[in-house]
Structures are given as C-alpha cells and as structure tokens.
Amino acid sequence: MENAGRARTRTRLTAVDGERRRRSEDWLATEEPLDIRVSAGGVDVSIGITMRTPGNDFELAAGFLLAEGIIPSGTAITRIEYCVDKALGKEQQYNQVTVQLASDVEPILLDARRFAISSACGVCGRGSVDDLVERGLEALPDGPPISAQVITGLPATMEARQRVFTSTGGLHAAALFDAEGRLLALREDVGRHNAVDKVLGWAALNPTSASSRAVLLVSGRSSFEIVQKCVVGRVATLCAVSAPSSLAVDLARRFDLTLVGFLRGETFNVYAGERRISARVADAIRQTSSRA
C-alpha cells in the first residue's frame, strides 16, 4: 500500500509585527527527495531524483515515466513499490520507488536517460517540439465543447480541495476535470510539474475512472513541460491562473491543444484551440492582445 505521505512539517518561528515579536509555530509543506527507479528485464535503473512533497508517490512515478516517453502507457506497469531494504531507515524506504514493467515492454532509452533535479520543475527531460513529434504523438482530438462558465468555475473548485495548501500556503496544485466541470482528481506538491505528474499518473493507473478527462487546471503558469505532459496524457484543454510561456503556446498550437491563461474571476485569455470553447459564451473570453 502506498504511503499516505508526510505532506506537512511543523516548525517554530518568530513572528514580527512592527516592534513586536512573538514565538509561534506553523506548518510547512514538506519537501523530500524521491528516487524513481525502473525494473525491466531483470535490470534495475535509477531514472532520477526529484524533490517532492511526500504522498501519491506511485502516481508521480507513473506520470513522469509516461510524460517522458519511457513507457507507452499505464498498462506497461505491473507493480510499483517502495524500497524494502531493511538497512535503510523507515523514512528513507519511503523516498525510493521502483516501477516494475511488464516483460514484453522495452523501456525507451532506459540506459541512456538521466534527468536534471529541481524542486521547482520536478525531473525534467524532453526539451523540444521535435522530440515529441519523433515519439509519434499526434494532435489532440476535438473532445466535447467546454463552456466559459465551466472554465471560470474551475479555480474555486480546486481551491476548496487544496487541503495542504490551506494549512501551509506553500504548494502548487493540479486538478483534472471532465467537460462539465466535475473534479476527477487533484494533487498538490512543492513542484508544479510533480503535481501534474501525480494527476496524470492517477489517470494512467485508473484509465476507467479517468476516461472522461477533458481539462487540466494548474495553479501557476503554463510552461513547455506542462503542455508536453498534457499532450502525452491526452488532455485537450489546459487552464492556468497565470501566463503561458512562448514555447508553451507554440507547442499547444502544434498539437492543437486548447491553452487558457490568466484565468481569474470571469475572465481569461485563450492562446490556442479556441474552437473547443462554446461559441455562445465567446464574449466572456478576454483576448490576449488586451493584456500588455
């Protein structure tokens, strides 16, 4: 069974208010390393280490392997488990996961791939549009239309479910919705890419429950890597409360993904794939040119 995680850590602090100081305690978002390993054909390989918030580690590992093209789908995974080496301390056992692949699956570039380490970005690998094209990824399908009313209601739904953020104020979130705005899965992490990997890992490991996935909402900005993960995870609409990067827009247009940014209140910008948003509510869309 997957460890529920130690998502919060209590700390002591000094609160300063003008000339007044007082001792206090608060909760912090926990940040610890996770070593992601793959076992295939009797060979165990460490893919890389990411700094993450403990919890949903199996989903994180699955989502990352899928996003980076190391596995073709969640069906390639037969088992995920924590390290069981008794020589390690209990906490360290929960900081290493091994993903066992099916015997007929040949992990792509397994021996050649190593990944950079960053708590901000998770474990980042692929870096260009050409890489994704070479993997045989196709443009995203049309999917059902999504109304602007549904889109503008997503942040409130996500915020209401961000339990660890509420107590720490220090986590990113990613949430997966269907076309009607019903929440399918929400995950939090100190790394915004990790939060997305956890959600897409959940979808890969629960294909029946995730079959209606239509929209991914992230609590920060949209980068190339976030769009990449949506393309691989076959989520046709990506929404963010902040701005996209230039390469994120280029990639969204290349793979026909609907990219929404500056989703705040009743307004948002559409940078790509506007056709998926119902025409009857087009007046609610804020044109990107209106923002300096």
* Identified catalytic residue from 121, 124, 230, 239: 121
- Distance of alpha carbon 72 from the chain centroid: 18
Residue that the structure tokens 């056992």 belong to = 93
Query: Is residue 124 annotated as part of the catalytic site, yes or no?
Result: no
Distance from C-alpha of 8 to C-alpha of 57, rounded to nearest angstrom:
15
DSSP letter for each residue of 38-90: EEETTEEEEEEEEEE-SS-HHHHHHHHHHHTTSSSSGGGEEEEEE---TTS-H
Q: What is the DSSP letter of 13?
A: E
Residues in the chain: 292
- Tell me the C-alpha to C-alpha distance, in Å, between residue 107 and each of 41, 46, 49, 59, 73: 10, 13, 18, 18, 11
DSSP letter for each residue of 90-141: HHHHTTEEEEEEPTT---TTTTT---EEETTTEEE----HHHHHHTT--PPP
Q: What are phi and psi of 53, to 5 degrees?
A: -90, 120
- Tell me the C-alpha to C-alpha distance, in Å, between residue 236 and each of 136, 174, 217, 250, 258: 17, 15, 11, 15, 6
- Catalytic residue numbers, as ranges: 121
